[in-house]
Amino acid sequence: MASSSFGWGGFALRFVFALLLVLLTYNPEGWSFLHWVSRDVSQMIALKALAGVLLAVGWTIYIRATLRSLGPVGMILALALFGCMVWVLIDFKLVDTQSLRVVSYLVIFVISAVMAVGISWSHVRRRLSGQVDADDVDE
């Protein structure tokens, strides 16, 4: 079964796609969908609408998978875990909290990490417990 070969590479790929989704939607560098749409609203409306729908599809896939896999409590716990990790970095003064850019990237990382865990959780749970989700059963 191909799904049993899930590992760090599979998680990293899911994280990269989550990170791309978040960065394409917003990033502090000014090269994002939100920046593009807010500049000269009257130009390239159809292309902006298409990009917006594609991003909405990506967000829907990731958020639905995260909520279905982790549930609301698991999602809160994942946010708490990554939030505490950021807190430790701040507490040890490893990040500059005075920089809006740094804080933005930390938030982007946390959102991406939670979505990557959420979309990967069924695979992780199956490897840890041997339990298979009803969606995973082959017919």
Rounded to two decimals, the pTM is 0.80
Write the single-letter amino acid at 107. Answer: V
Written as tens digits, the pLDDT of the chain (139 aa) is 444 566 788 889 999 999 999 999 999 999 999 999 998 888 889 999 999 999 999 999 999 999 998 999 999 999 999 999 999 999 999 998 899 999 999 999 999 999 999 998 877 766 677 666 555 555 4
Token pair in block for residue 53: 């729908």
| Cβ partners under 8 Å of residue 93, min gap 6 | none
Domain locations along the chain: 8-132
* DSSP-derived 3-state class of residue 5: helix
Token pair in block for residue 139: 């017919």
Token pair in block for residue 101: 């850019």
Token pair in block for residue 109: 């990382």
